[in-house]
């Protein structure tokens, strides 16, 4: 399957995955990215710059979660948009295809289901 | 040696966050500082000097890298927006065509076999054209901070546009005069080109008058632009439109 959309960066992809279960605030995403083992940890600057990019691409939007959580009003909550879900699915397909082709070479073991 | 207090470290970091582009800070400064403060509290709790040093190294590298990328991204977005505005503006198209045609025409018309002062004139046209185009582009970037929301403000917006183009042309003329005269002076050819002393005096007098008039015009245009800028309604969150 050929995808014409440009591939997302690793940080952006990890952020989208982090938001797939529902809205979260930036610091929670930062902690998840530190522990997911899929890449380097992101500092606050890189995190919010990536968030800014995703917001400008309309893949995520800021949500009103902050109003329901009074723990820290500076927290910014984000959630995936429909376009973000599509982009995540497309990127996952692309990754699966890459993994399948890599497995075909025999250099790496095929992905386990 | 005791560590600085948490509040002071957060204040230092907040000062560093000031290096981000304004559009980024307006939206995310508080969130970035809050995330830093939470991380700092976590590391302070660990009470390990090595962890503290690693934490600061990580934060500073993150800050430097993301500040650079944020500035690049902001510049790219602004340029793309300005390019889009320019494409949509027939005034710019006319100005751009003029700025391209005039130097080409001047070069072909005035170039001689010996290639002396006429080449300098053509060169001055090229330089002034580039200067005018750059000044126009900068002016458009400034102009992009204003948005039109009501029909009445279209008139003011159009005024700003026309005034920017006029300012570009005024600067082009000014640059042409300056570069041409400087080049001529450098080659000591003014009297040769303009004949005897009387003609030379008239030339310099008229040049001075023209420069004064152009500088005056430039100031007048700036005042006009400031007036129009005040009239145009500033956008509450321009980064959303850029």
pLDDT digits (tens, 9 = 90+) for B20-29: 988 888 888 8
Q: What value, to the nearest 5°, has the Cα angle with vertex B129 and ends B123 and B135?
A: 140
The pLDDT-based confidence of B122 (bands split at 50, 70, 90) is low
Burial class (CB in 10 A: 0-12, 13-18, 19+), B113: exposed
User: B193 lies in which domain range?
Assistant: 89-240
pLDDT digits (tens, 9 = 90+) for B48-106: 788 888 889 999 999 999 999 988 887 777 667 656 655 655 555 555 556 566 656 65
Q: Does A75 touch chain B (CB under 8 A)?
A: yes
Question: Which carries the bigger pLDDT value, residue A61 or residue B150?
Answer: A61
Domains and CATH numbers, chain A: 10-104 (1.10.10.10)
**Is ipTM beyond 0.95?**
no
Instruction: State both tokens at B155.
Output: 């008139």
pTM score: 0.56
Q: Does one domain contain both B10 and B45?
A: yes
For chain A, first and last CA: distance in Å?
20
Q: Does one domain contain both B226 and B142?
A: yes
CB contact under 8 A, B28 and A52: yes
The pLDDT-based confidence of A70 (bands split at 50, 70, 90) is low
Q: Does one domain contain both B50 and B99?
A: no
Q: Does one domain contain both B61 and B150?
A: no
Distance CA B100, CA B104 (A): 7
Q: Does one domain contain both B132 and B219?
A: yes
Q: Answer whether residue B82 is part of any domain.
A: no
The pLDDT value recorded for residue B220 is: 57
The pLDDT value recorded for residue B52 is: 84
> Could you tell me which chain A residue has the CA closest to the CA of B32?
A44
Q: Does one domain contain both B59 and B100?
A: no
Please identify, among B51, B75, B99, the residue that sits at the C-terminal boundary of a domain.
B75
Counted domains in chain B: 2
Above 50 in pLDDT, residue B170?
Answer: yes
Q: Answer whether residue B83 is part of any domain.
A: no
Query: Which 34-53 residues of chain A touch chain B by CB within 8 A?
Result: 41-49, 51-53
Question: Which carries the bigger pLDDT value, residue B168 or residue B8?
Answer: B8
Q: Answer whether residue B80 is part of any domain.
A: no
The pLDDT value recorded for residue B184 is: 58
What is the CB neighbour count within 10 angstroms for residue B28?
25
> Could you tell me which chain B residue has the CA closest to the CA of A53?
B73
């Amino acid at each position: 399957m050929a995808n014409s959309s440009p591939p997302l960066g690793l940080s952006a992809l990890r952020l989208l995955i982090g938001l797939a279960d529902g809205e979260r605030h930036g610091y929670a995403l930062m902690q998840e990215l530190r522990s997911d083992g899929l890449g380097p940890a992101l500092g606050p600057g890189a995190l919010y710059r990536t968030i800014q990019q995703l917001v400008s691409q309309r893949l995520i939007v800021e949500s009103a979660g902050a109003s329901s959580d009074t723990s820290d009003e500076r927290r910014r909550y984000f959630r995936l948009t429909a376009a973000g879900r599509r982009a995540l699915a497309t990127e996952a397909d692309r990754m699966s295809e890459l993994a399948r082709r890599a497995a075909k070479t025999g250099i790496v073991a095929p992905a386990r289901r | 040696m005791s560590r600085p207090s948490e509040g002071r470290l957060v204040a230092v970091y907040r000062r560093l966050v000031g290096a981000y582009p304004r559009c980024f800070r307006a939206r995310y400064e508080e969130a970035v500082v809050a995330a830093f403060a939470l991380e700092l509290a976590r590391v302070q709790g660990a009470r390990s000097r090595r962890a503290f040093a690693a934490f600061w190294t990580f934060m500073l590298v993150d800050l430097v890298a993301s500040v650079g990328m944020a500035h690049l991204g902001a510049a790219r977005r602004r340029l793309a927006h300005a390019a889009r505005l320019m494409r949509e503006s027939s005034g710019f198209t006319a100005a751009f065509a003029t700025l391209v045609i005039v130097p080409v025409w001047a070069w072909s018309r005035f170039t001689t076999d010996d290639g002396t002062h006429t080449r300098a004139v053509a060169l001055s046209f090229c330089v002034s054209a580039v200067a005018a185009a750059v000044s126009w582009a900068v002016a458009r970037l400034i102009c992009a901070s204003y948005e039109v929301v009501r029909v009445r403000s279209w008139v003011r917006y159009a005024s700003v546009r026309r005034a920017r183009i006029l300012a570009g042309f005024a600067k082009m003329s000014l640059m042409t005069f300056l570069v041409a005269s400087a080049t001529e002076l450098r080659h000591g050819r003014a009297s040769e080109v303009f004949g005897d002393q009387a003609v030379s005096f008239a030339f310099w007098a008229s040049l001075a008058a023209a420069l004064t008039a152009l500088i005056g015009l430039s100031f007048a245009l700036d005042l006009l632009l400031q007036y129009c800028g005040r009239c145009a309604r500033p956008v509450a969150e321009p980064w959303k439109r850029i």
